[in-house]
Structures are given as structure tokens and as C-alpha cells.
Amino acid sequence: MVFIIIVLIVIIIALTLLSFYMYRTAQLDRIIYQDLYFSNLPKHFGDVRIFFISDVHKRIISDQIIAKVQQQVDLVIIGGDLTERTVPFAHVEQNLAKLKSIGAPLYFVWGNNDYEVDVHELDARLLQYGVTILANAAVHLEAKQGEKMTLLGIEDITVERDRLDMALADAHNVKDAFRILVSHNPKVKVQVQEEHRISLVLSGHTHGGQVRFLGYGPYKLGDTEMFNNCVYVTSNGYGTSTIPMRLTAKPETHLFTLKRGHHTSIGEKKEVQF
């Protein structure tokens, strides 16, 4: 009987320590730096630096992350799930103010959890902070020499609001532009065809599985991979869903530097953790 009690106490302590570790892991602040090389990147854009953050959910973005990328990037892209049902709009505004302070144009695509709140109010807050909403649409960026880059964004696949065809149609009038697609859900990969001429896809949603035991989880870890001459990014995301815990799927934000190269290729990752 005494032995059983001791075993139970050890198990309780172990679970408590594990829970604390998982909670602390979920609160980490990380920036993943990575160079991406594209043979078709317009040379007059030079290096293009993109800060990408997805799946913020309940978290308040760290001041350390903002300070690290402030005035250092050309574009800020929010990859969906900026908020969810239980998050007050005051938190959303705080995060938007921080992202705006980076000093670069802001872009946003809808994630499945963003639809849990009053979408009209969220839409208004985004516009208030100067965020361009890519809802099955495209925007065009132009270098001084006339070369163009097109940023496409679709609404969320999970709730069946995605219309890649509409975003492509919106981009159609600029045929030779370098194209970046933002989709909250990485399942967009099965929709992307070579004739779409998309060179980079940015996604989140999966949280890298969030809680993984012995290398297994409901989703694979976030990664950067190449297929059919297109680079696909799936981020672990910054926040958490359901439970505020992570195990072996650390939160992350990203600073990508797009460079012109002889071949499309992926550089090594470098990490800064606070």
C-alpha cells in the first residue's frame, strides 16, 4: 500500500513538472531566420525581408521580438488566427499596434479561428491599423524600375471560404510578377499548380502538432520545403489552441530574406530565442 502511494506521488509530481515545462515551452519567444533563393526574383527589388507570424491566438506578442525586427523588414504578414472566441479586442489592438510599430506594410489572411469573433469588428480593427486584408485577392508591389511582385491571399480552407481562383484572377493582369501566396491552411499545396507561377507559399494552422510525444503528433512539425520549384513554409505558429501548452513543437515567428539566386533553393535556419 505504501509502495502504491509512493508511486502515485511520483507520477503526480512528474505530471506536474511536465505540465509546467509544456506551459513554459508555449511561452517561448523565437525568431527563425532563413534565406530563400529564387531564380526568378526581380533583381531590382534586391533582398526582400518578410516578417511572418501566424496563429497568435491568446498571446500578446513579445516586445523583444518587435524590437529585434523593427525597421529591419520590408513586409509584415499575419498568417491567420490572430484571435479566437475568448480573446478581447483590446488584445487584438495591442498586437496590431506592436506589429504596426515595426515600420513596414502589414498584410493579413483569415484563419479558421478568426471567424469565431465578430468579423465586421475584426475587419474594422485591421483597417484601423492600416492592415491590407487579402481575402481571395492580390496586391501588386512595384520596384522603381517597374519590376513587380504580387502578394496573393486566400480565406481559410477549413471553413470553405477559400477561392484561389479569385486571387489568381486578381493577379492575372500582372503576368510576369514574382508571386507569393499566403494561406492560413497548408492544404492549399494540393491546389497550387505550376502554371500558377507561385514561387513562395506561407502557411500556419497546424501549430506543428502543438503537443507531440516521442516524435508523434496530430500534424508534422512546421518546415520549409520545396516542390515543383515552389517553396512551401508551414509555421509552428506563435500561440496555442485549446490548451496553453506545447511539447517538442516550439512556438516560432519568422524572418525570411528573399534573395536572387541561380537556382531556387532554401538556406539553413538560424534561431534567436528569448
The hierarchical CATH code for the domain 2-269 is 3.60.21.10
What average pLDDT does this structure show over 211-219?
A: 87
Beta carbons within 8 Å of 269's beta carbon, 6+ residues apart: 32, 33, 34, 224
For the chain, the structural domain boundaries read 2-269
Each residue of 48-78: pLDDT tens digit? 999 999 999 999 999 999 999 999 999 999 9
pLDDT at 267 over 80: yes
Nearest to 53 by CA among 26, 32, 36, 27: 32
Each residue of 170-185: pLDDT tens digit? 998 777 799 999 999 9
Arithmetic mean of pLDDT over the chain: 95
Cα distances (Å, whole numbers) of residue 67 to 191, 199, 260: 37, 29, 27
Each residue of 104-115: pLDDT tens digit? 999 999 999 999
AA letter at 208: G
Q: Work out the pLDDT band at 154, boundaries 50, 70, 90.
A: very high
